Structure 1
């Protein structure tokens, strides 16, 4: 079941998901970038901030996994 769901997501869709959900809100700076800066500074301590990092980072993990899959010659 999960494999079928994974295969149903095309590489182009993964790019769109990463650029929209992964970076929103765009103003004043992308949320993911803000959370990564907090992580680097050691100020990512609130559970809500950790959830935000996971929520906005997951589309990028999906995209990277799809790119690796495509590079290995599997369906994208």
Structure 2
């Protein structure tokens, strides 16, 4: 978690909004892949890789936000 703590929150926000949503038209790529996952049609390895790569910025942003919301130990 030290690595996540050392990176500013703004970096994670920018990554999630740009890399996480690209391409924007006709719909965000990560949203398309999540819909495929929910419907059970996410079966090709390239689609799984796509979901992982477009979802990673969102996972890191959520991890940063959750870790920052924890009460301080001490």
TM-score normalised to the size of structure 1? Answer: 0.86
Gaps of 5+ in 1: none
Question: Quick one: which of 44, 47, 56 aligns to 2:45?
Answer: 47
Runs ≥4 residues deviating over 3 A:
none
CA distance in structure 2 between the aligned counterparts of 1:47 and 1:62, rounded to whole angstroms = 22
- Superposition CA RMSD, Å: 1.5
Residue 64 in 1 paired to residue 62 in 2? yes
Cα deviations by residue, 1:5-53 (Å, 9 ceiling, x for unpaired): 3333111111111000000000010000000000011000000000000
CA distance in structure 2 between the aligned counterparts of 1:28 and 1:49, rounded to whole angstroms = 17
User: What secondary structure sits across from 1:25 in the alignment?
Assistant: coil
Aligned to 2:34: 36
